[in-house]
Structure formats: structure tokens, C-alpha cells
Structure 1
């Protein structure tokens, strides 16, 4: 759940997109359009990955990410027992059956609306927001650090960057297959996304923006719940929590696909996946896979009762 109100962060219109370490206009920094790739079909068959799994804590899953080469899964959560806007997070590592294998604590980072995972050999590096603004509980920069089970990190102990000098509310998404990093951020006119080379970004170089665009309007009044970058497309996830089983007239959980090169939304689908879950709040989106044959677009739900929240993952694997 995003208690700040993602609606406020998505409001407004018209702004100069800034990118790079100096905050130069993105249009002047752009060097190429992204090569054409296939996209996930939003109305394809829903597949269930796991259901009703407890995370470390347990608190509501806000986001998740896969380290594809090492077959690892990580979730981002607000830390139990700390103020919502403190930016204190818990990361859980799970196996693909949903069993917790380890955890980390992040102090003063943000809300974990989106996290990323990057494999470097057998080591997983996690990308998150960091440097929390306690006025809204969101990160003012992004960070990259190696996974270390049982560790507690502070914002001052990690490598971090502010890719857009006048931006705020940063969240990352890692596209492992195509070697790119997406950065979502707020300007006065709304939310924007920049795409960078992952290799350049991990070296701290955000001077070249491969693509940059303002996030298109989704469903008015519905909470934004996650996003993912894969190839030439960005995927968005939105929806509200329900106390019980939704039907078609109640459903708000919607998947969106945005064509970066064309600059338009090209697909959407209102899903009833997991409709029997109690609470059922959409939370998190990520991609797994290193080929078209193995690629999966995952979307998550939090479920359960207060004090015993559970994680649930579903996916699409049809590319068109």
C-alpha cells in the first residue's frame, strides 16, 4: 500500500524532462531509440506462481525483483514496527516456492515501490530508492549494493546517485536481459521515466539517456502499484485493496503496457487473478527470463489480515 497517495504523485501536466547527473534536458541527451522487441500480452492466460506466503516480518510486500541468472527472488517491504515515513525497509529473499531464505534491513531508504536485481557472477546486487524524504516516505536518490543476508544498511553506507538533479521520488527497475536501468521520478508536472545503460549506471554515469518520457495517465483515482522495464516496453500495475472477493464491477487491478518508441499505451487488461484472496492489494511487478521462451511478466498481490500479511505472485508469459 502507498499511504502517501500515489494519486498526488501522478497528477499535473506538462514539464521539462531532465536527466543525467547535471539535470540537462533529456531530449538533448538522447542518443537512440530502443531496438524493437516483443511485448507481453496483457490479456494472456494467468499463471499462478505461489500463493499466501509469509515474508520476513511479516509486512505487506511492496515490490519484488528476480535475479534471473542466479534464480533468486527478493521482495521489498516496509519494516515492521517503524513509522511509515521513516523509510525503514525489509528485504526478503525467497526461493521459487515462496519460502524465506534470508533478509536484510535498510534504514532510511524509502517506500520500496520498485526494486531491481542485477547478477554479477554469483553475487546479486540490489537496486532501490534511498535517502528518504520523511515528509513523504520516498527516496531522493537511488542506490546499488550487494545482497548480504542478515545485514543492516543505512542510506549513508551505500553507493547512491541522483540521476535527475531536480527530480524526486525515485524508484529503479532493472532490465537484465537487455542491460538497461529504468528510473522513475517526479517533476512538478508528474511522473517521468528515463532509460539508461545498466553498465553505465552502475559506474555512476547517467549522462546518456537512451529514452525519456512522461508517464502516461492511467486510471484516475486508482493507486499506482508497480512497474517494470523489458526491452522496448514499460509495464504498469495499478489497483486498490478489497476486504473480500471482488467481482467484475469491483475490480480495479489493471495491467498496462507502454510502447517506449511509439510513445503510446498499446495494451491493458483488468485482471481478476487471485480474486479469492482476502484483502487482495496489487503490489509489485517484475520480469524474469533471459530469452523469449523463458520470459515472464510477474505481478503481485498482498493478502491476509493485519499482522499476518501474505505475498502472492502471478504471471503472464505470452509474447507478441
Structure 2
């Protein structure tokens, strides 16, 4: 073992000991290789949705020129993973001819791009037959990033949608299908479809959005229990009424939903648009706040897409950021922009503030 390897491992042990020492914090953090021994409590402060959003990066190219669907952070290794519908006209190994974009959408074929925190491309994967990519998550184990996505796509209308969720390691240039041995699959709710997933790295919780009996719901589970095949949720709430659904993220005791449309469609008029974030209480399913997002108003094309929780410093998981994305620029070269909200307060304080108490 060389000096640099020992130094790196030493830093990781120090980080782990500091994270585990945060017992006074209501959020139990999961660091590079930590697991939860008990179910985390649904406790945390709530993001102030009326705050000013900061730009993480703007107009960054992805592996394909299609619209970004969702993204997730590897807070340990400082990477971002972005998923999008696979571009038409590509012929992958094993295919007899180039496949159109419409058929890629129908088949549920996705492209996954790995970025650094400045939005520069580092790598990619192709995920054939996975779904629509409405939301993804990342779990980090040491230096390894494991993606959580929908899989086993079924065609409905003109698009493919996942019917269960899967975990697999990121491997640059790899092509996966639902039958690939790399996939670890989980069916959390029998009879559900439209399954999409998010990981809350601060508390070690997995959230799944799903449709059952025609209605959308969200369930939150201890991540380590899901990996063991134990699928008992901590909470399960119905999706409140929203506009065009575009993504979700969970942090501690609250669930956040993204909605809206690109300028010029479905009531979205520049510069205000109709991008909203809604905050839902996991304990009650009650909507606590809903605010118009005005970040990125100068973007020429501005379609809200995807949410994720960023933890800039894993030693302080209670200082997180709620991130949301926009697909930008025009066909055939769509780009990605990401913005973040970083103010957290007790829910009661936010409600009082809105009432003017």
C-alpha cells in the first residue's frame, strides 16, 4: 500500500468517525461506507422554498442532446449523475440498425451521464428498457457509486415506464438491460407501476414514487432494509394535486415535488414560468408550502426536470441543499442547468413567516 492510498484511507476513517459522532443531530448521516442500524426518525428542518436559489451550473452538455429527465448527487466523490431519454439515430452493439428517438422513448431507453460538480462530462452509460427517467438516486459505498433507477419498462402511450426499481454500479461506457446480471432488483409494492426512486443520503432513506389503482403515492423506506429485501415503509402518502410532474426529492421529514412546463406551453409564460416546488409532511401527507421558482429566468428554453439533495460537507448533513434542474437550449443540443436552495428552518417558523406572524 503506497503513501497516497494510506493517506486517502486515513481521511476516510476520520470522516467516518466525525460523521458517526453527530449523535445530537436528528438526521443520522450515511457516509462513504456507513449503514444504518435502526430506522431513522422522520425529523429535520424544512427548506425555505421562498428563498433565493443559487446557480450550481448553467448550460452544460450531456452525453446525448436530449432533455435531461433527472439527476442525483454522489456527495462523497463529488459527482453528479444525469439521466435522459436516449437520442435517436444511434446504433448500439447488437442492434441491426440505428433506432429512432420515438422508439427509444417507447422502449424506455435511457442515457446516463456522469459529471463533475462544475458540470463537466466524465463518463456515460446506456440503460436499455429501463423507463422514462423521471427520478433517480445515488448510493455511495467507498469510491463506488451505485445508481438506483426504475427498470423493466412497459410501454404506455408513446413512452416506456418502469415497473420496479434496481440498483447497479456505475461503469463508464457500459450498456445494461433489465436482464443484466449487474442489476439488483426490488419490487417494493406489489401491483405498482410508474416506479421511480430517490435516495436521501443524509438519513439513509429511499423514497419511491409509484402508481397503484390509478393513483400516485410516495413511500419512504430505510435504504439498508430495502437492500435486505425488507419492504416495510416508514411512511406512505398520496401525491397531492400538482401540475405537470417533473421530479421529487426527500430530506428527513419532508418530501419535495417539482412541477412545471417549458416557456410557451401549458400556461408557462416567460419570464415567470410555472415552475413550482411543493413541500409535503411525511408524517401527515399535508402540503406545508408551495412556491414559484424564479431561478434561471433568462434561460431561452426552461423546462423544470429533476430534483436532488446535495450535502456539500458530509460532516454537516443538516446543512443540505435542495437542488432542481432545468433542461435548456434547443434541439438537437439540449443542455442542463441546476439551481439550489440552502436555507433550512423549522416548519413552524416557515408557516408563521408565510402568515406574517
Q: TM (normalized to structure 1)? A: 0.85
Q: Does 1:301 align with 2:326?
A: yes
Q: In the alignment, what sits opposite 1:141?
A: 164
Counterparts of 1:142 and 1:266, CA distance in 2: 29
Shift of 1:263: 2.2
Q: In 2, are the aligned partners of 1:144 and 1:202 still within 8 Å (CA)?
A: no
Tell me the distance in 2 between the aligned counterparts of 1:280 and 1:245.
Answer: 10
Is the aligned partner of 1:217 residue 2:248?
no
SS in 1 for 2:46: coil
Which structure's residues are more often strand, by fraction?
1
Tell me the CA shift for residue 309 of structure 1.
Answer: 0.3
How many angstroms apart in 2 are the aligned matches of 1:247 and 1:297? 22
CA contact (8 A) 1:66 1:288 kept: yes
Superposition deviation, residue 203 in structure 1 = 2.5
Between 1:288-297 and 1:129-138, the stretch displaced more is 288-297
2:255 is aligned to: 234
Report the CA distance between 1:34 and its aligned residue: 3.6
Cα deviation code 1:221-248 (max 9, x no counterpart): x310000011010000000011597134
Match for residue 268 of structure 1 among 290, 309, 314:
290
In structure 2, the residue matched to 1:183 is 208
- Is the 2:271–2:298 contact (alpha carbons within 8 Å) kept by the matching residues of 1? no
TM-score, normalised relative to structure 2: 0.77
- Is residue 194–residue 210 contact of structure 2 (8 Å, CA) maintained in 1? yes
Q: Which has the higher contact order (CA 8 A, sep 6+)?
A: 1
Return the offset for 1:154.
0.5
- Please tell me whether the aligned partners of residues 245 and 276 of structure 1 are also in contact (alpha carbons under 8 angstroms): no
Q: Does the 8 Å contact 2:136/2:148 carry over to 1? A: yes
Correspondence 1:1-320 to 2 at 5 A: 34-81=41-88, 82=101, 83=103, 84-135=105-156, 136-157=159-180, 158-206=183-231, 208-218=232-242, 222-243=243-264, 246-248=270-272, 251-289=273-311, 290=314, 291-292=316-317, 294-320=319-345
Structure 2 residue matching 1:199: 3-state secondary structure: helix
> Secondary structure, in 3 states, of the residue corresponding to 2:106?
helix
In the comparison of the two structures, how many residue pairs are matched? 284
- Residues in 1 aligned to 2:310 and 2:155: alpha-carbon distance in whole angstroms: 32
Aligned residues of 2:42 and 2:282 also touching (Cα < 8 A): no
List gaps (5 residues or longer) in structure 1: 1-30
| Aligned twin of 1:10 | none
CA contact (8 A) 1:34 1:261 kept: no
Report how far residue 65 of structure 1 moved. Answer: 0.1
- Alpha-carbon contact 1:278-1:304 (below 8 Å) kept: yes
Taking the aligned partners of 1:36 and 1:168, their CA distance within structure 2 comes to: 29
Q: Equivalent residue for 1:21?
A: none
Q: Distance in 2 between matches of 1:198 and 1:33?
A: 10
More helix by share: 2
Q: Which 4+ stretches in 1 moved above 6 angstroms?
A: none
Q: Cα distance, 1:294 vs. partner? A: 3.7
CA shift, 1:204, in A, is: 2.6
Distance 1:39 1:117 in 2: 22
SS of 2:62's equivalent in the other structure is: coil
Structure with bigger gyration radius:
2
Q: Match of 2:179, SS? A: helix
